[in-house]
């Protein structure tokens, strides 16, 4: 039995030759020839085109970890395109680099311990039962300066939630950056952020956002060609 793929279902940069692929068909492997459309630019190379599939979204109870940041997050709820988490910071957790979200706010409601937040150029200390709101567009960085854990847990109300696509970013970014120390440095970090940044609204605070957007626009085709994606199966949520 044969199946015909539509010409636009795959894209590749051809050198004038036919493209070969091996497929598994009911336990046997067969060599087939796929006559794909010719691509004239690297922008046509596929790299997670479209929305992440449902399996990439953490479900309630799913944990995700960042060894480098000292963070553990557990999804409490997902509903109507939003999600809520419990964030646990290890003692002396350095946290992420200072960053910006242009389209959503973050609430830090401290349940236990003392949270430190770099916010609008100043360090803010948020203690148990206190709340700090970081509006969209404001650079911020969260960390733990103490020798005790910090737990951040917001009420399960819409104003305290974040876009569920950001949960995909957290799981994917934690997996990528924890995989190798080299992933924290250029060129790998820069190439990967050219995919993550625009997709999930995560921008570094160390450079103007328009400059990052322009740079990512220039290097994103090369990043796609090199295999950098907006989401990877190997970093799927633990179930």
pLDDT one-digit tens code per residue, 135-172: 999 999 999 999 999 999 989 999 999 999 999 999 99
48 found inside a domain:
no
The residue among 117, 146, 165 that closes a domain is 165
User: DSSP letter string over the chain?
Assistant: ------GGG-EE---SSPEEEEEEETTEEEEEEE-PEE-SSGGGS-SS-SSPPGGGSPPTT-EEEETTTTEEEEEEEEETTEEEEEEEE-TT---PPPEE-SS--EEEEEEESEEEEEETTEEEEEETT-EEEE-TT--EEEE--SSS-EEEE--SSGGG-EEHHHHHHHHHHHHHHHH-GGGGSTTHHHHHHHHHHHHHT-EETTS-HHHHHHHHHHHHHHHHHTT--S--GGGPPP-
Q: Point out the least confidently predicted range of 2-11, 170-179, 186-195.
A: 2-11
139 and 223 co-located in one domain: no
Mean pLDDT of 208-221: 97
Q: What is the pLDDT of residue 9?
A: 41
What is the rounded CA–CA span in Å between residue 71 and residue 87? 7
**Pair (138, 69) in one structural domain:** yes
Q: What is the pLDDT of residues 33-65, one digit of tens each?
A: 444 444 444 444 445 556 788 999 999 999 999
Range of the domain at 74: 59-165
Residue 52 lies in a domain: no
> What's residue 163's pLDDT?
97
* pLDDT for res 147: 98
pLDDT at res. 42: 41
Q: Does residue 73 sit in the same domain as residue 143?
A: yes
pLDDT band at residue 239 under the 50/70/90 scheme: low
Tally of structural domains, the chain: 3
In this structure, are 189 and 161 located in the same domain? no
Measured CA to CA, the distance from residue 63 to residue 151 in angstroms comes to 14
User: Both 63 and 147 in a single domain?
Assistant: yes
Listed residue (89, 83, 58) closest to 160, CA to CA: 83
Residue 189 within any structural domain of the chain: yes
Given a cut of 60, whether residue 22 has pLDDT beyond it is no
pTM, 2 dp: 0.79
195 within 8 A of 189, measured Cβ to Cβ: no
Verify that 83 and 125 share a domain, yes or no.
yes
For residues 149 and 75, state if they share a domain: yes
Q: Tell me, what's the pLDDT at 23?
A: 42
Q: Is residue 186 part of a domain?
A: yes
Q: Is the pLDDT of residue 235 over 90?
A: yes
Task: Tell me the mean pLDDT in the region 71-94.
Answer: 98
Q: Is residue 45 part of a domain?
A: no
From the list 39, 75, 79, 42, the residue with the least C-alpha distance to 59 is 75
Query: Which residue did the predictor score with more confidence, 4 or 125?
Result: 125
Token pair of 110 as six digits: 């401290």
């Amino acid at each position: 039995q044969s199946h015909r793929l539509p010409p636009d279902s795959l894209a590749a940069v051809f050198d004038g030759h036919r493209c070969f692929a091996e497929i598994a068909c009911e336990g046997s492997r067969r060599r087939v020839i796929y006559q794909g459309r010719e691509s004239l630019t690297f922008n046509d190379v596929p790299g997670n085109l479209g929305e992440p599939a449902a399996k990439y979204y953490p479900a309630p109870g799913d944990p995700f970890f960042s060894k480098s940041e000292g963070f553990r997050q557990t999804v409490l709820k997902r509903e109507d395109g939003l999600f809520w988490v419990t964030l646990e910071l290890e003692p002396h957790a350095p946290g992420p680099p200072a960053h910006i979200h242009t389209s959503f706010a973050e609430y830090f409601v401290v349940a236990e311990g003392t949270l430190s937040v770099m916010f609008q150029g100043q360090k803010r200390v948020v203690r148990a039962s206190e709340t700090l709101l970081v509006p969209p567009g404001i650079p911020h960085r969260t960390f733990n300066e103490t020798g005790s854990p910090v737990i951040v847990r917001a009420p399960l109300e819409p104003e305290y939630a974040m876009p569920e696509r950001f949960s995909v970013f957290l799981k994917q970014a934690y997996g990528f950056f924890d995989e190798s120390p080299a992933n924290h440095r250029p060129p790998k970090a820069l190439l990967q952020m050219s995919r993550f940044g625009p997709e999930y609204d995560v921008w570094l605070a160390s450079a103007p956002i328009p400059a990052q957007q322009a740079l990512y626009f220039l290097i994103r085709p090369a990043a796609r060609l090199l295999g950098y994606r907006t989401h990877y199966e190997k970093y799927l949520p633990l179930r």
